[in-house]
Structures are given as C-alpha cells and as structure tokens.
C-alpha cells in the first residue's frame, strides 16, 4: 500500500520540487554575504511549509468519503477534476508570461532584495513560497486527497508524507548541498543555473503544470465514470 501511495503522489511531489523562483531565490542567497545562514534558514522554512501544508490538508482530506472496494470516492474524484482544471489554467497563465524572442525574462522585484534579508526573514520567505504559493497548495492538496483515499495507518501516512517531502524539497536543498560540498567552486555553476531558470521559468512551469493538470484531470474523470 505504501508503495502504491508513493507512486501516486510522485507527480505531485515533482511538481512542488520543480519551482524555478524558489530555486533562484536560494541561489541568490548562496551568492550573498549571508550565504550560509540565510540559505539554511530558507531551506528549513521551505521544509516546514511543505510539511505543515501536507499535514493540515491530509487532516482535512480525511473527512472525505471513501469509495467502495478501494475505488476513489465521488468527492475525491470531483476534487481531482477541479484541481486538474486549475493546474491547466495556471499552465496557460505561465505560458502567456513567457518572454518573447530576444526579450529578457522579468523576475519578481523582491528577488533584488534577497541580500538584505535576515535569517528569520529568509525562513519566513521559505514558508511563504512553499505553503502559500497557489501552485504548491494545489499540488499538495491533490497529493493529500489521493493519500487519504488509501485509509492507511498513521505510521504509513507519516512515511508517505516524509517521502513526499524529501522529493518536494530536493531541488531547493540541492544548491545548498552543492555549496556546502564545493564552496566557492560552485558559484559559477550556481550563477549559470540562476540565469537559465530565470529565462525559462515561465515555460518550465507551463509544461509542468499542463502535464500534471492533464494527469489529475484524467484521474478525476476516470473516478467519476467508474
């Protein structure tokens, strides 16, 4: 059961993991004067946000009806259908934001003030970007709705949420690990990553959200027609 649950939650976790703006944010922190303290605080905030949102949404999802013979309930299937539509809408919005040929991508202005953050503010930013971000909330909600339908034990749910979290935070944690291992040698690579992610942020997110949205929508339709 745990393996099946993890397999179903994997696309959602990857969707949270592939978040270019938070990755750019932590790279900028690693290139700033408070590299160690701020990046560690941001990562802890990111982890806390993902775990907190998952726990709350799993508890809320537990109130949903369970389908017969282990099949998804109509409630969960309807939620998946709505989530799929919303994810596809976000995909379209991101695609429209993509820079035109020859244009430089426009990044959020708050990224320019990363160097002025304190560790406490960096942690708060991590929570904000992970748990309050609409894209992440939709993905975590979809994952927890799917997990709740397995009616697993608390221990099994904890294992699945832990695996989900590890995957979801992996791309934000990777630059921190790289910096800790390679030190100053990693700065050139981190800078190249920042530039590429900044320029391709909208397209990456559009493709990701479209694929996941179609998958979730399909599961919702399948569940309702079963």
In 3D, which of 182, 158, 178, 159 has the Cα closest to residue 170?
A: 178
User: How many whole angstroms separate alpha carbon 223 and alpha carbon 154?
Assistant: 25
pTM of the model: 0.83
Residues 6+ apart with CB under 8 A from 141: 57, 61, 79, 83
DSSP label at residue 128: I
pLDDT in tens, 77-135: 888 888 889 889 988 988 888 777 767 777 778 888 888 889 999 999 999 999 888 88
Give me the count of residues in the chain: 226
pLDDT in tens, 126-158: 999 998 888 899 899 989 988 888 888 889 999
Return the pLDDT at 66: 55
Question: Token pair of 202, please?
Answer: 């909208």
User: How many whole angstroms separate alpha carbon 10 and alpha carbon 18?
Assistant: 12
* Number of other CB atoms surrounding residue 195 within 10 Å: 13
Residues 40-67 have a mean pLDDT of 87
Report the chain's mean pLDDT, rounded to a whole number: 85
């Amino acid at each position: 059961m745990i393996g099946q649950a993890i397999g179903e939650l994997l696309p959602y976790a990857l969707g949270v993991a592939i978040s270019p703006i938070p990755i750019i944010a932590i790279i900028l922190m690693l290139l700033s004067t408070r590299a160690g303290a701020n990046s560690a605080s941001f990562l802890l905030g990111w982890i806390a946000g993902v775990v907190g949102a998952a726990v709350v949404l799993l508890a809320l999802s537990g109130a949903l009806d369970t389908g017969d013979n282990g099949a998804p309930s109509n409630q969960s299937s309807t939620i998946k259908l709505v989530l799929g539509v919303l994810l596809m809408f976000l995909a379209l919005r991101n695609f429209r934001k993509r820079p035109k040929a020859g244009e430089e991508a426009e990044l959020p202005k708050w990224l320019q003030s990363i160097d002025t953050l304190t560790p406490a503010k960096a942690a708060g930013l991590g929570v904000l970007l992970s748990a309050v971000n609409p894209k992440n909330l939709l993905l975590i909600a979809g994952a927890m709705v799917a997990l709740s339908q397995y009616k697993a034990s608390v221990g099994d749910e904890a294992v699945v949420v832990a695996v989900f979290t590890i995957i979801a935070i992996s791309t934000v944690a990777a630059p921190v690990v790289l910096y800790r291992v390679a030190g100053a040698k990693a700065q050139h690579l981190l800078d190249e990553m920042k530039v590429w992610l900044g320029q391709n942020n909208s397209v990456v997110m559009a493709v990701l959200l479209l694929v996941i949205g179609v998958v979730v929508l399909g599961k919702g339709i399948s569940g309702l027609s079963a």
